[in-house]
Amino acid sequence: MTLTQQVTTVVVSRNRRAELLRSLAYHDDPVILIDNGSDDSTAEAVARLHPEVRVVRLTRNRGAPARNVGVRLAATPYVAFADDDSWWAAEALAEATRLLAGNPQLGLVAARILLGDANLEDPLCRIMA
């Protein structure tokens, strides 16, 4: 099992089919999509175009706590979250896995958020630091 295969990426989406379909191409398996009550055929499109993604359809929008559904279903030692319009940089999850495995006292690795084609750092990064 590679380092990235030790991480399940949980994505929550609601009615953002186009953004989600674009971002899923950048995720390494395994991926769990929690469809948060979409009514725009998001779940069906993902199942058809990305059969490797496990799709869980919720009957209503549970907001951010819907991520907990994905965490409970993950069969890997680690879980990463991504929004429906975001993805992890190449090797980021492998590096996070190395950090977590090598430091048992560590329970969370937070990402540096880069925005747009110019990869500008999100001002929120400084606040979270």
Tens-digit pLDDT profile for residues 61-84: 999 999 999 999 999 999 999 999
Residue 126 confidence (pLDDT) above 90: no
Look at residues 65, 53, 13, 15 and name the one whose alpha carbon lies nearest to residue 34: 13
Tens-digit pLDDT profile for residues 95-111: 999 999 999 999 888 88
The fold adopted by the segment(s) 4-128 is Spore Coat Polysaccharide Biosynthesis Protein SpsA; Chain A (3.90.550)
Look at residues 19, 125, 26, 17 and name the one whose alpha carbon lies nearest to residue 80: 26
- Rounded to whole angstroms, the Cα distance separating 57 from 38 reads 8
* Crossing angle of helices 17-24 and 42-49, rounded to 10°: 20
Residue 93 confidence (pLDDT) above 90: yes
The pair of structure tokens assigned to 64 is 């951010």
